[in-house]
Amino acid sequence: MVGSRLRLAGFRHQRKHGWQTALAILGIALGVAVVMAVSLANQSASRAFAITMEQISGRVSHQILGGPSGIPEKLYTRLRLEQSHLKSAPVVEGVVRIGQEQFTLLGLDPLSEQPFRTMTRLPGTGVLTRLLTQQNGLLFSSYTAKRLGLSAGDKITLAIAARSPEVELLALFGEQQGAVLDGVLVADIATAQTLLEQPGKLDRIDLTLTPDAIAPLQTWLPKGYQLVETRQRTSAMEDMSKAFQTNLTAMSLLALLVGGFLIYNTATFSVLQRRRQFGIMRLLGATRSELFRVILFEQLIIGLIGTAIGMGAGILLARQLLWLVTRTINDLYYTVTISRLDLAPEIIITGITLGLVTTLLASAAPAWEATRARPQSVNRRSAIEQQSHRAIPWLLFIGLSTMGGGLWLAQNSDRSLLLGFAALFCFIMGYCLLVPAMVPTLSRLIQYPIKWLFGTIGRLATRGIDATLSRTGPAIAALTLAIAATIGMGIMVDSFRTTVGQWLTQTIQGDVYISAPNSSSKRASAPLPNGLPAKALKLDGVREVSTGRHVTVESETGPVNLLAIGLASTSYRGFNFKGDTLADLWQQFSTGKLVLVSEPYAYHNRLKTGDKVTLLTPLGNQSFTVGGIFYDYGSDRGLLVMPREHYAKLWQDQAVTTLGIYLKKTATLESVLTQVKTLTSEYDQPLTVRANQEILKHSLEIFDRTFTITQVLRLLVIAVAFVGILSAMMALQLERAKEHAILRATGLTPRQLLGQITLQTLLMGVMAALLAMPLGWLMAEILIHVINVRAFGWSMPSQLSTTILIEAGLFALIASLLAGLYPSLRMARTQPALALREE
Amino acid sequence: MRRAILFLLLPLIIGCQPREEVTTEKLSATRLLSAVDQQGFARAEKPRDFIFPQDHGPHPAFRNEWWYFTGNLQDQSGRRFGYQVTFFRFALTPPSKKPSVSQWSNNPVWMAHAAITDSEAKRHLKQEKLVRAGPGLAGSEAQPFRVWVEDWQLQQGKAGLPWKIHINSETFSLDLDVEPTIGVVLQGDKGLSQKSAEPGNASYYYSYPRLKSNGQIRINEKQYRVSGHSWFDREWGTSALSPEQTGWDWFSLQFNSGYNLMFYHLRNRQGKADPFSAGSWIDKAGKTKRLSLDQIELTPLRWWKSANGNNYPVEWEMRIKSENRLLNIKPILDEQEMDLSVRYWEGAVDIYERGKSIGSGYLEMTGY
């Protein structure tokens, strides 16, 4: 009986304070939405990758891999003739495009496929015959075809490197529902070799091996080839993007943390406002547990509504984030098409749980507090304020120890990215606990200047903050956290961008670069025409040229990017080494015994100068000494550098991927650029010619592109924080309606009241901004020196940008100003007597 | 010709259909004849001059071709073995004059079947390989003579003869030297074997009806030194059976007297014998008499049902009217079904006359 009354009372209260309820719901919804969206996008990316790999690899347990130029198909013939008892299949793999979208072209021999994959199991016999005999027939997954609006029999123009052959969609495989194998096109091996222009070459040989067959095959395998376990390779590839995805998840949790504060705030206010009502209920016979349950139930309903809205919004948001995630993964890691949101039940459940648990945790504290108070004393508001102040030493202690723990964890968790994030969160939480403890001190500090500036109103405003610490404390903490998050992420991205810019300027030493766009190979970038370097060198005004060959080679730890460079005399300056290098570095480098490794590669593989790196060459495994570790922000997978002439000899690959042109002092860029463009237009193959500055601009554009998602998340955190501040401040001021009415009744004009309220919220904003700056800076330090290093292996100096600090300060002021506006306008308009009677 | 239908089933096999579908599709195999384009291939339209050893090698102008060995062997202790080794080539496209970029382009598909019947242990072991020519995965060469599907090989010896057969699988292997004791026998009309009434629906067909065979069989880890007689059939063409022809019973019999008999018994939809059924009666010296349907009368005596539910007439009565002989043909083991991509029955048989064993041979039955 009492319970239902209590519930009804709660419902009435929420209805009466609709604004507050709506904001609470909005806060929860936003927090849940961001977490959901990021996990959904991440999960979809991982699943798309896993499914694609699973379907492509099928029941392949092992693969034979070769160097950058693939495997001669005669090796497969030898394998079939000498090891015919093994289940094996030849695979040709390349990259093709339809419009702007990238696809993996898989060339298979349907006759060898049966033990491995199902894609070439086709209905009817005619299609298979056509697949085998028609030189341009392809198979699409039903899902891809549907997505692109294609059906069997359609003609499609592919873009392969610089060519655009027309192909025919012969048939579809797989079901339309699952996004299985989206992004993969299947062709007969003959068609694939023809389209990719790689006659006689395979990309790998797939095998299904029993454990006892592995060792004999390894012995049989000629030098220069490697037998690798598929699972290991797949997981190595998946790991590439894991750090990136972990970062996204952590940022989404930050949004939830801010959201959690917000819920805590609104729940606290909602309970505090009704202390008197609860006291009466208690006097009427409601028990503590009844009251506790009712409050929790009420908050749970709010949490449920917020979570439900958040889930919907999260799914909508995830669709937007998905293409950003896909683009970044494709830019940085591997080709994968993720066109479908994977609404995994575990993510939905996690979303619901996060929303509800956060709500319950955040409202349990105020609910507990409200029920614990003795009914007689509930009316005395001073009681809770006294408690709040008494809690300050405790908050200080817990806060400082949590921060200390966070710092300790950051230093003692070696290389673990997750523990790095845990340390960051500890640090943040600890700092947030300190905030309420610092509010009284801060308000006392500013008390006199404010009084001097604004008189009694100023004094009322500052003293009010301290006097209602139980409410202002969490609100300021939430605001601090939100501002700090934007500062921290801002500084991190900014430092990163500056570092990359400087690095690019140093690395790009040539004046003009020539490259070939869009390689069709997954292991090597598209080669330039033969003889181009020699011709370029003869151009008027050209002092010298440098050549580069980008390939992927196999190392003991999986595939690794290798840059083979023919250095120009000035390109040595392009390397900036971290720590010591070997003595006579460049002289030793030219002998071919050394490799230079990039910082991420050294970090991930725990290498230092003087260590050995083993690479698979056509002559078998060969080990190289690390001559030096250079800064490189081009790839977080790492890069090895060796002289091109030695690479060409070892891997029997004379191709050149990029050509750098260095000008004579007397030459002008325009004249050389014109000559180079004339020279490149003589070739059928389209070539990209870019001046130094253009590359710099282009590279920074790519950088910005990959950080778009970080910026989006930063904006989302800001949005959550903004709503949080708005609702906290509004609730705070609305709750003080009676106090304001008394002030009005004792002679304060509406204008003065407006001034007082606005001043107070502004002051809170300023306090939060001040408190957020050190936290934001420390967050940036942890992000740059702990998280970035662990996730990507990049080290860089942090740079405190005043712009970001000013932005953050402005944001705090605007948010608090807006938050103060509504309650003060409302109060200014209300008759004081009415407000007093209402209470 | 008998084996032609196997090829027509190939596209089905490659499609890796579930077995049930193969079974149902199997009966309509002849339907595929019209589906597979014969345009651009040479056709067997009139008798030709055979030139050896060149004609042992490939004839890529024709759509299909095969090398077919069957034989009865025994080890020193008298343990009986039957074996079958066949290489089929089936072109998917007519030979092109344009050189192709990829070695995998315009590939013929090769299928090889190998089986061993071990009558004492009552087991029939079989294995199949299905590959395309690709970069030397399978193929045939005239000189030196060689046919191979991966590591399964038929090749001439150093001095030409004997030929060497090498088969190796997980459960068994076979290494056999075979040398003809009777010269080439041209089947049909001077080697032109007519399939149906339509002109050009024929193949070129010759046999070595008796080859002295010596070698080794390994089953699991056990080795047997074996010797005996083999039969070799060679056929190539582009033709197809008529839609009416649904299956066949094919006999290759070697009599202890040194005589040999080949007869293919084509059946139509009604299960009746097709008038184009034919054969030959070959004496010790290789002199050949053609046999037509009216000279041979075949009656099934006993049926055997395989694990798949197929019913095969494994025991036959054969009346050779011209020779006035009545033969009883019995399998050395009922279970000799080749349940591979294409399902048929191919097995070693004994010949009885008036209750007395007078020879051995091989029997193939399809379309059941």
The boundaries of the domain holding residue B338 are: 4-366
* pLDDT, greater one: A212 or A745: A212
CB B9 within 8 A of CB B342: yes
Quickly state the pLDDT bin for B312 (edges 50, 70, 90): very high
Asked if the Cβ–Cβ distance from A85 to B150 is below 8 Å, we say no
Give the pLDDT mean for A6-26.
Answer: 75
Q: Tens digit of pLDDT for each residue in A391-439? A: 788 888 999 999 999 989 988 888 888 888 889 889 988 998 888 888 8
Percent residues over pLDDT 70 in chain B: 89
Three-state SS sequence of A339-390: CCCCCCHHHHHHHHHHHHHHHHHHHHHHHHHHHHCCHHHCCCHHHHHHHHHH
Which of B93, B129, B132 shows the shortest C-beta gap to A109? B132
Which two three-digit tokens encode residue B321? 């009217």
Q: Tens digit of pLDDT for each residue in B69-98? A: 999 999 999 999 999 999 999 888 888 777
Which two three-digit tokens encode residue A834? 């009415």
pLDDT in the model for residue A743: 80
Contacts of B351 (CB under 8 A, 6+ apart): B253, B255, B327, B328, B329, B357, B358, B359, B360, B361
User: Residue-wise over A643-671: b if at least 16 C-beta within 10 A, else e?
Assistant: bbebbbebbebebbbbbbbbbeeebeeee
Q: What is the mean pLDDT of chain A?
A: 82
Q: How far is B280 from chain A (nearest CA, A)?
A: 36
CB A790 within 8 A of CB A417: yes
- Provide the whole-model pTM: 0.73
Phi-psi category of A364—alpha, beta or left, where left has phi over 0 and alpha has psi -120 to 50? Answer: alpha
B130–chain A Cβ distance below 8 A for any pair? yes
Q: Tens digit of pLDDT for each residue in A288-337? A: 888 888 888 888 888 889 889 988 988 888 888 887 777 777 666 666 66
Helix orientation angle between A456-467 and A417-454, rounded to the nearest 10 degrees: 150
* pLDDT, greater one: A642 or A742: A642
Q: Report the C-alpha gap between A797 and A491 in whole angstroms.
A: 11
Q: Tens digit of pLDDT for each residue in A175-186? A: 655 555 677 889
Asked if the Cβ–Cβ distance from A73 to B134 is below 8 Å, we say yes
Which two three-digit tokens encode residue A412? 């003692």
Give the pLDDT mean for A468-480.
Answer: 80
Asked if the Cβ–Cβ distance from A188 to B104 is below 8 Å, we say yes
Q: Are β-strands B172-180 and B356-366 bridged in parallel, bridged antiparallel, or unpaired?
A: unpaired
Which two three-digit tokens encode residue A574? 């392009």
Asked if the Cβ–Cβ distance from B135 to A73 is below 8 Å, we say yes
pLDDT in the model for residue A437: 85
pLDDT in the model for residue B31: 35
Asked if the Cβ–Cβ distance from A111 to B104 is below 8 Å, we say no
Query: Which of A116, A129, A134, A210 is the best residue to mutate to test the B interface, defined by the most B CB atoms within 10 Å of its own CB?
Result: A129
Neighbours of A614 (CB within 10 A): 13
User: Residue-wise over A704-734: b if at least 16 C-beta within 10 A, else e?
Assistant: eebbebbebbbebbbbbbbbbbbbbbbbbbb
Report helix, strand or coil for A105.
strand
Q: Tens digit of pLDDT for each residue in B258-299? A: 999 999 998 888 888 888 899 999 999 999 999 999 999 999
Report how far apart the first and last C-alpha atoms of chain B are (Å, whole number).
Answer: 18
Report how far apart the first and last C-alpha atoms of chain A are (Å, whole number).
Answer: 25
Query: In which residue are the tokens 């079947």 written?
Result: B113
Least confident of A197-211, A432-446, A495-509, A820-834: A820-834
Count of the separate structural domains present in chain B:
1
CB A444 within 8 A of CB A432: no
Every domain of chain A and the residues it spans? 1-62+236-379, 71-202, 390-508+699-839, 517-686
pLDDT in the model for residue A839: 45
Which chain A residues have a beta carbon less than 8 Å from that of B90?
none
Asked if the Cβ–Cβ distance from A109 to B134 is below 8 Å, we say yes
Q: Report the C-alpha gap between A779 and A771 in whole angstroms.
A: 13
Which chain B residues have a beta carbon less than 8 Å from that of A84?
129, 150-151, 168
Asked if the Cβ–Cβ distance from B102 to A125 is below 8 Å, we say no
Query: In which residue are the tokens 């090829």 written?
Result: B7
Which chain B residues have a beta carbon less than 8 Å from that of A133?
92-93, 106
Q: Tens digit of pLDDT for each residue in A695-735? A: 888 888 877 877 777 777 777 777 777 776 677 677 776 66
Report helix, strand or coil for B221.
coil
Nearest to residue A38, comparing CAs of A241, A183, A255? A255
pLDDT in the model for residue A668: 86
Q: Are β-strands A639-643 and A558-566 bridged in parallel, bridged antiparallel, or unpaired?
A: parallel
CB B177 within 8 A of CB A110: no
B134 has pLDDT over 80: yes
| Residue A668 CB-half CA count within 13 A | 3
The single-letter DSSP state of residue B274 is P
B12–chain A Cβ distance below 8 A for any pair? yes
Quickly state the pLDDT bin for B38 (edges 50, 70, 90): confident
Percent residues over pLDDT 70 in chain A: 89
Asked if the Cβ–Cβ distance from A132 to B92 is below 8 Å, we say yes
Asked if the Cβ–Cβ distance from B102 to A197 is below 8 Å, we say no
Q: Report the C-alpha gap between B11 and B111 in whole angstroms.
A: 12
Which of B15, B93, B129 shows the shortest C-beta gap to A133? B93
Quickly state the pLDDT bin for A2 (edges 50, 70, 90): low
CB A419 within 8 A of CB A409: yes
